[in-house]
Amino acid sequence: MADSDDDDDVPQLSSHTLAALQEFYDEQQHRNTDPGEDNKYNIGVIEENWQLSQFWYNEETALRLATEAIMAAGKGGRIACVSAPSVYQKLRELKDEDFSVCILEYDKRFAVYGEEFIYYDYNNPLNLPEKLTPHSFDIVIADPPYLSEECLRKTAETIKFLTQGKILLCTGAIMEKEAAELLGVKMCKFIPKHTRNLANEFRCYVNYDSGLNSEVNYS
Ligand SMILES: C[S@@+](CC[C@H](N)C(=O)[O-])C[C@H]1O[C@@H](n2cnc3c(N)ncnc32)[C@H](O)[C@@H]1O
């Protein structure tokens, strides 16, 4: 057992410094878990964590993918965003009530979105709550965290379980062959853009007739 006298050797922070430190941690916690009502759905309000392979779309891409999902889902349709939180945020920011949407995410900071948040780990692709019944979404939009066959294969299991048919996948250009084999999707001309420049070329893939197939956005 350590001698209680050892405590005398531990450097102590002053109460003033401790209070300042506590305030800093409280502020961080608040920023990470409670974005506030006004900007609750802003992209970036939950900051990127690169350890979780988080790279948010820019505004233009998030808006284009959100409107694509609404059009593809149809009036009153159901949309699932799998590992694609900024599409969810953009959908909610549009304040359109004519669809329902779920956000399936590994990062529990997104639990601030309440019942629409569903904890999801691609390693257990079918470990989903009972309320997510098979083939109950008109469209599933997914952006798996890693550019590997294993990650795409497992995420594809989830996608196929959830969708009634339509799939919009965003992933690296290098995954084209695997995406076609696993999900029957084809690369679109539209190129998704991120808030930061990524080293890997990213693309969208769909399995239905979509405007994304013909839209070219070089800028
Ligand atoms: C490449 S990012 C896609 C984000 C997308 N570009 C957007 O702006 O919404 C990958 C996403 O996968 C999530 N993720 C990380 N680990 C995961 C896991 N084990 N299972 C499922 N999703 C995971 C990250 O939190 C992140 O939202």
How many whole angstroms from 23 Cα to the centroid of ligand 1? 30
The answer to whether residue 75 sits within a structural domain is yes
Q: 104 CA to middle of ligand 1, Å?
A: 9
Tell me the per-residue pLDDT of 117-140, one tens digit each, with 9 for 90 and over: 999 999 999 999 999 999 999 999
Report the relative pairing of strands 186-187 and 77-82 from DSSP bridges.
Answer: unpaired
Task: Output the pLDDT for position 95.
Answer: 80
Protein residue closest via CA to atom 17 of ligand 1: 106
For 140-180, the pLDDT digits (tens) are 999 999 999 999 999 999 999 999 999 999 999 999 999 99
Report in angstroms the alpha-carbon separations of 29 from 26, 94, 108, 143, 205: 5, 27, 13, 27, 37
Q: Is 59 in the pocket of ligand 1 (CB under 6 A)?
A: no
Q: Decide if 190 contacts 159 (C-beta within 8 A).
A: no
pLDDT the model gives residue 123: 98
Q: What is this structure's pTM? A: 0.85
**Which residue puts its alpha carbon closest to atom 20 of ligand 1?**
121
- Tell me the C-alpha distance between 77 and 73, whole Å: 5
In whole numbers, what is the pLDDT of the chain averaged over residues?
A: 88
Give me the pLDDT at residue 25, please.
53
Pocket lining: 106 vs ligand 1, CB cutoff 6 Å: yes
pLDDT band with cut points at 50, 70 and 90 for residue 199 = confident
Cross-strand partners of 139: 79, 166
> How many separate domains does the chain show?
1
Q: How confident is the model at residue 215 (pLDDT cuts 50, 70, 90)?
A: confident
Q: What band does 13 get if pLDDT is binned at 50, 70 and 90?
A: low
Is 4 contained in some domain?
no
pLDDT at 27: 59
pLDDT tens digits, 61-75: 999 999 999 999 999
CATH code (residue 155): 3.40.50.150
> Is residue 106 in a domain?
yes
Is 26 among the domain residues? no
Instruction: Give the position, in ligand 1's atom list, of the atom nearest the Cα of 56.
Output: 8
Buried b / exposed e over 87-98, threshold 16 CB at 10 Å, is bbbbbbbeeeee
Q: 3-class SS at 72?
A: helix
> What is the residue range of 90's domain?
50-213
80 touches ligand 1 (CB under 6 Å)? no
Cα 35 to Cα 45: distance, rounded to the nearest angstrom = 6
pLDDT at 164: 98
Cα 1 to ligand 1 centroid, rounded to whole Å: 45
Asked, for residue 79, whether it belongs to a domain, the answer is yes
CA of 83 to the centre of ligand 1 (A): 4
What percent of the chain lies above the pLDDT cut of 90?
75
One-letter amino acid for residue 26 of the chain: D
In this structure, the residue with its CA closest to atom 23 of ligand 1 is 106
pLDDT, position 24 = 54
Please report, as a single letter, which amino acid is at residue 116.
Answer: E
Structural domain includes residue 219: no
In-domain check, residue 154? yes
